[in-house]
Structure formats: C-alpha cells, structure tokens
Chain A
Amino acid sequence: MSIVIEHMTKSFDGTSVLRGIDLTIESGELVALLGPSGSGKTTLLKIIAGLDWPDAGGLRVHGADWLHLAAQDRRIGFVFQHYALFPHMTVRDNIAFGLTVRPRAERPGKAVIAAKVNQLLEFLQIGHLGDRYPTQLSGGQRQRVALGRALAIEPTVLLLDEPFGALDAAVRRDLRAWLREVHDETGSTTIFVTHDQEEAFELADRVVVMGEGRIEQIGNADQIHDHPASPFVARFMGATIELPVMLNAGRTEAQGLDASRLQRRALPDGPGTLFLRPADVTPLADPSGRWQIVRRTSNGALLRLELTDGAQHFGIDLPRRAPEAQGLSPGARVNLRPEAGTIFPGPRTSQPTAATTEFPRKEKSL
C-alpha cells in the first residue's frame, strides 16, 4: 500500500506543527520518521492513522482518499509508546479485540479467531503468556502483545509511535531486530516514529528527518550522515562545531584551518559555515596555532580536548592512542584539519538549542 502525503499542514492553537509535508512511501517499505520532539513526526503519524486531521493537504493510500475515511475503516495497525493495552482483558482477548469488534457479518467464527490468536502468539514468541493480564507482563512482552493486537486485523499499514521508547536498552535492541523480521514476514508498509538515530538507521529502509514541521531530508544513514541537507540536519546528526569560513573558488579558507581534506564545493564565493563532528577533526600541534587547549579529558578510548580561540569554545574527540594525541596538554596551541565536514553558504546562524541539546541527552540513555 503506497502512501502519498501532499502539502499537509496542521496547527494546534495557532502553533504550526506541520508546515507543508510532501512524502511518498512505497508499498512494503519500512520508513522511520526521525526528529527531535516537537518536529511534528507523531502528529503526522496520527493523521495517517486517522486519530488526527490536517488543516489542509492530501493523504492517499493506494489511490484512495484517506482523509474522508474514518480511522475504523482504514485497517491500520497502530502501536503506542506506552502499549495502550486493555488492562481488563487477557493477552488473548487483547489480541482478538480487533476481530471481535467487527460487524457480525464480517466477524470470523470463535474457533477461527482463537486459531488466529494462537498463531500470532507463536509468531510473537509469547505463546505461554496468552492467559495473563497486561499488568503481569514486562515492558518488552507488553509491546509484543500490542504489536500482536495490531497485526491481528491484518493491517495494510503498520504505524508505530516511539515503539521502543519506554523500554531499556537491551530489550530495545532485541525488539528492533525482531520488528524488522515481522515487517519482512508480513510485507506490510511500516512507518515508525523515533528520536533515536541509531534505531532509525538500523531498522529503516529510508529515514525521513523532520524538524519543526518540515521534512529536512530523506535518505539512508550514509547519505544523511555525509551530506546533510541543511544546518538543522547537520546539527541533529551531531555536528556540534560550527566554524565561520570564507569560500573562494570552491575552496574553504579560514585562519588556522587546513582544508586540504575537504572536497571543493560548487558554492558561491563569500562567507560560509563549516559544520564538523567532534570526531572528524585532527588537531595539528603548532606553537603559533589559532586554538588553545583548555581542558583534556579521557574516557579511556577517546580523548576530548576543549579548545578556544578567544571567541568560540568547542570540544573535539580523537583516539587516545592516536599519534596526533601525543603532547596535547592544556595550554598547547593547535591548528585543525577537518577530515570531513559540510559547508553551508552564509554566516553562522543562531543555533536552535532544542535540536542540539536535547538529542545528546537522550542518546546517553542508550
């Protein structure tokens, strides 16, 4: 079931949540909507589910206009971050729910439903839990049940809202691989929302990076990592260093910067901003270098050097045993050689703190 979203906008109480979304998802694809909180990804998912409606725009699934179709009739499977299982029903009844609420004419017989539930329980590897109640299950088991309940109606589209967000790291990795198997086996079109890059890139065929109600970039891990389409994506992908540079005939120039490893770019001459990840920079010891080392910390494998040139303060990472790391102690001066980076024309813009500060915090919990 291909999903086509056109010019979709939505606002809550005057605040724009979606500012014109155009997106096509192919039948059978597994797509991640990746972005910080407030980027509109969950709203988009809920609109596809029929739990919310856009102010304007189109939503067509396999050619049919879904905006005029009630959620009940869309036959989607929706999985919530906090499972939303029915606490007064057993696992079996939870999974059977979508079949038992069908109109009498379409409802399968009791035996058929029971067989279907058994089959799903086996498929989800929770065959022994059928008669338990949700409160008697662990988080990972609950999410399996929630997925089983969604799969029971044989959804054309499977939607998951931060499906692993409430689980601990080990369970999360486990379920990630398992969800990929489920997707491949059922052949449904799957969209999941996450703020976790690792999860998005590992699991999805394509990742849609969203920021402040817009699609910033669509691609796979390497494309988005190496060629961020906007400063937003560069920052979101961990480029915390933003250096003002001059562009001259496609060459990047700045005092103290050895740009030999950077590719020439077809950009207009003038000021630009170089976005760098802390690990993509090599320090070159130089007594008259532009930056001074203020602090040096180590986590055993990586060294982190805090640098300043008087105006700007940032940190770079390098392997502790790297030859360049020798003799780099606080007070020493260095120049920098970026190994990879992205340049955007124009002077440095103010940094939206929400995008960059929130993300590393959530990463730590992994």
Chain B
Amino acid sequence: MSTLALSHAPGQSRRMPQLLIGLAFVLTAIFVVAPLAFIFWRAFAGGWAVYLANITDPLVLHAIWLTTLVAVIVVPVNVAFGIAAAWAIARFRFPGRKLLMVLIEIPFSISPIIAGICYLLLYGRQGLLGPWLAAHDLKIMFALPGILLVTMFVTAPFVAREVLPLMQAQGSEQEQAAVTLGARGWQVFSRVTLPNIRWALLYGAVLCTARAVGEFGGVSVVSGSIRGQTNTLPLQIELMFNDLNTTGAFAAASTLTVIALVVLVIKAVLESRR
C-alpha cells in the first residue's frame, strides 16, 4: 500500500503544475491575446489604405494628440505627488497620516464616472464654483483643465501605492546614514532614496500612463465630447463606434493599443537593464 501511495504521489505532483501552466496560457490567450488580435484584424479589415485614412482623419489625429498631451501632463504630476505622499507617510508621524493614506486610496474605490459628476457639480456652469469661474472667464468643464483634473483624480493612487510599501519596508536608516555623511536634503533624495524606489516608481508611472491614456468614464462626463476639441482617443473610438464606423473605431483602437504596448515595452526594456 505504502509503495503504491509513494509512487502515485510524485506523479500527481508532476502533472499538477503542467496543468496549471497550461490553464494559465489558455486563459491568457482567451482573455488577453484574442481581443488584442481581433482589434488589429478588424482595423486592417479594409486594407492598409483604409487604415491609414482612418488614422489620419483630422478628428482622430486630434484625439491622439489630446490623449498624449493629457498623459504627458498627468504622469509627471502624478509621479511628483506619489513620491511626496509616500515620503510623507513613510518617513513622518503627523496628525492625519492615516487619513491621508485612506484618501489616496479613494480613487481606487470610487467609480470614475462619479468623480466626473463630482467635478461637474463643483466646476460646471450650474455648479458650486460655476458662477465665480464664469465671472473670471475660467473654463474648466468641457475643456482641457477638466479632463486633466479628472484624469489626475483617477490615477492619483498609482505611483503612491507602488512606492509606499517599498519605502516603509526599507526604513530610513540609509537616509540617516547619508545625512551623517554630510548629504543635503536633495542629495539624500537623488542619490539614496530615488535609486532605491526607482523600479517601483517606474512601474507606478507605467500603470499611471496606461490608465491616463485609457480613461473613459470620468473623462466622458467632463469633456463634453466636442469633436476635434475635447475628444480624447477613448471617447473618439466610442463616437466612431456609435456612428457605425466600425473599421475606423478599430483603427483608432489599434493606435491606443499600440501606445499601451509601447509603454509596456519601454518598461520591459528598462527593467532588463536593471
């Protein structure tokens, strides 16, 4: 009996990992690879010429430009905020520290569309600050500032959430050592703190970029979807889809996908040089 059990058990444990690995591959193929492949297949369904025409449509080009602009502004702001928040929480004990930790998480738990509506109620024409903004000729809703604000709100936790656990785990001894060796605040940050968190920071920035580029719900509320003015790429894709321009929608979607893939490749390349 015992020999039977012994010879059986290892065989089972050999098959189990293979099964799990196979399952992982199949599920990834179904949920990730297939939709991606489908996007490109549909985008090129009408051939290269149609694809190019769709992509170079002025409205699409404007949407690509706007989306890129949003990412270029939001990500650095977010990185700065994330580092500052993580630094403050990891290194200092101050009243409201726990509250700050909870506040940073809020965008994760709130649906982006609610964030959009909140901004609308605050800054919109009928909103709380609407009359004041109108009197000073400041336009936030249905314009770039609104899109930026909502995108920042939605992506706020990404960098802080990646960096904070690492900073907490590392403690502040290295920084103290640097201080005793004569390093000034900025030197401590750039030569000790930053190198230690750089991979977490990079990862957070990548996630933040992907989200900033792809954000739909919140932005759709505050942008007003004005074609050629406040339409980001995700909004433009929806618009084209609703206009029954399926090939155009998929072509635009393919560019969004390419942006996301490029970001991931950059991250992978940087990580391999670690």
Contact = CB atoms under 8 A, between A and B. Distances in A.
A72 B180 CA distance: 5
| Listed residue (B176, B180, B187) with the most chain A CB atoms within 10 angstroms of its CB | B180
Interface stretch (A81-89, A117-125, A197-205, A306-314): A81-89
B176 A101 contact: no
Size bracket of the A interface: 20 to 34
A51 B176 CA distance: 7
Interface of A is mostly: loop
A208 interface: no
Contacts of B195: 86, 88
Contacts of B179: 50-51, 71-72
A159 to B, nearest CB: 8
B174 A84 contact: yes
A101 B196 CA distance: 18
B191 A101 contact: yes
Nearest to A100: B191
A149 B181 contact: yes
Interface string A138-163: 00000000100110110000000000
Contact of B181 (A51, A88, A98): A98
Interface residues of B, number: 16
A75 B177 CA distance: 12
Interface of B is mostly: helix
B174 A101 contact: no
Report, nearest first, the 4 A-B pairs whose CB atoms are least far apart. A98-B181, A84-B173, A78-B180, A101-B183
A84 B176 contact: yes
Contacts of B191: 86, 97, 101
Interface string B204-216: 0000000000000
Given A86-B192, A88-B195, A88-B196, A98 B182 contact: yes
Contacts of A84: 173-174, 176-177
A86 B174 contact: yes
B183 A72 contact: yes
Given A51-B176, A98-B181, 14 more contacts: A71-B179, A72-B179, A72-B182, A72-B184, A73-B182, A78-B177, A80-B176, A80-B177, A85-B174, A88-B195, A97-B191, A98-B183, A101-B181, A152-B181
Interface string B157-176: 00000000000000001101
Contacts of A80: 173, 176-177
A76 B180 CA distance: 6
A102 interface: yes
A196 to B, nearest CB: 21
A338 interface: no
A98 B187 CA distance: 11
Contacts of B184: 72, 101
Nearest to A51: B176
A101 B180 contact: no
| Listed residue (A49, A78, A82, A85) with the most chain B CB atoms within 10 angstroms of its CB | A78
B178 A101 contact: yes
A82 B173 contact: yes
A228 interface: no
B180 A51 contact: yes
A57 B41 CA distance: 76
Contact of A75 (B173, B174, B178, B182): B182
